[in-house]
Amino acid sequence: MKFLDQAKIYVRSGDGGDGVIAFRREKYIEFGGPDGGNGGRGGDVVFRAVENLNTLIDFRYTQHFRARKGGNGAGSDRTGAASPNVVIDVPIGTQIFDEDRETMLADLDRPGMEITLCRGGDGGFGNAHYKTSTNRAPRRADKGWPGEERWVWLRLKLIADVGLVGLPNAGKSTLLSVCSRARPKIADYPFTTLHPQLGVVRINATEEFVIADIPGLIEGASEGAGLGDRFLGHVERCAMLVHLLDGTQSRLVAHYRLIRKELAAYDEGLATKPEFVVLNKCDALTPAQIKAKTRALAKASGAPVFPLSGVTRDGLPELLRAVQDRVNAARENAAQDVMRDDLHA
């Protein structure tokens, strides 16, 4: 399945059905009176977040969604049928933007969450609605109200607990492959990873977290260099970041600061997330080199630094345990915030 995290689609709700002009006609009833029914309501366009999707690829092939018009009224005071809603299923974490790509209309970040984006038009009144004591035979009926239409942008931000960031070839995909069952493409050239990958890390029978690997960042990514910062949105929802650095490189501190600069240029909130710094590829370093580079990174970052070898898996259990503890704490805080909001509500 191809990965697509942005799509532009057209949506239109249904028009309301028309009211009708009709009069009762029965044998032996001289003055039947008006009995034209009202029109039915047009269908809504509803977006729903579901759990079994993780890409917007379906919207590359289907870009227009229209709800049906409501049924017209009929004689004998019969109201037209209301049209069914058009329900559009999207992955959890999908944001809906107006055509200007800046105005956010909805953020579907929970399973089963729904938003009615375009409401169907109301049905028009039939002439029975206008019957009064002084107007016994009205000859007026209304057309149904038009529905709503708009072009919208869908943007997917994957839901993950932990985000992997770093320069190209820092070993992010290798780490994802050894700590989960994800099988990303791994090669020895830059930008092997072209789109985000998700993996589920299981520490034990009761503890697990979701980790997201995004394509590597380079200097100027916030201005469009390389693959740009387009995929940073997929780690915006993460509770924390794991920042991988290639231990075989000589300018580690400069590389660390470069990534931090690009994160801050994209979003200050992303740059302030808790992070663990990982000195990767330690299997190619001597113990003295590992110690010196770990000390330098700890001084520059002020964050915990974990020596790691993605190939031999040395240091992997310690890193995953620390990450799981941080994720557990973040989940507890989130649960407390939800309870607090419910009490205030």
311 annotated as a binding-site residue: yes
281 annotated as a binding-site residue: yes
Query: Is the Cβ–Cβ distance between 240 and 306 less than 8 Å?
Result: no
192 annotated as a binding-site residue: yes
40 annotated as a binding-site residue: no
213 annotated as a binding-site residue: yes
204 annotated as a binding-site residue: no
- Residues 244 and 171: their CA atoms lie apart, in Å, by 7
120 annotated as a binding-site residue: no
283 annotated as a binding-site residue: yes
215 annotated as a binding-site residue: yes
297 annotated as a binding-site residue: no
170 annotated as a binding-site residue: yes
- Residues 23 and 36: their CA atoms lie apart, in Å, by 7
DSSP letter, residue 66: E
152 annotated as a binding-site residue: no
> Across-strand partners of 65?
11
191 annotated as a binding-site residue: yes
216 annotated as a binding-site residue: yes
Furthest CA-CA distance within the chain: 109
Phi, psi of 11 (to 5 degrees): -130, 145
86 annotated as a binding-site residue: no
172 annotated as a binding-site residue: yes
9 annotated as a binding-site residue: no
193 annotated as a binding-site residue: yes
168 annotated as a binding-site residue: yes
Residue 273 corresponds to which tokens in the numbers above? 């997330």
Q: Please give the radius of gyration of the chain, using alpha carbons only, rounded to the nearest integer.
A: 29
> Across-strand partners of 78?
74
134 annotated as a binding-site residue: no
7 annotated as a binding-site residue: no
330 annotated as a binding-site residue: no
Q: Write out the binding residues for Mg(2+).
A: 173, 193
Q: Write out the binding residues.
A: 166-173, 191-195, 213-216, 280-283, 309-311
Q: Write out the binding residues for GTP.
A: 166-173, 191-195, 213-216, 280-283, 309-311
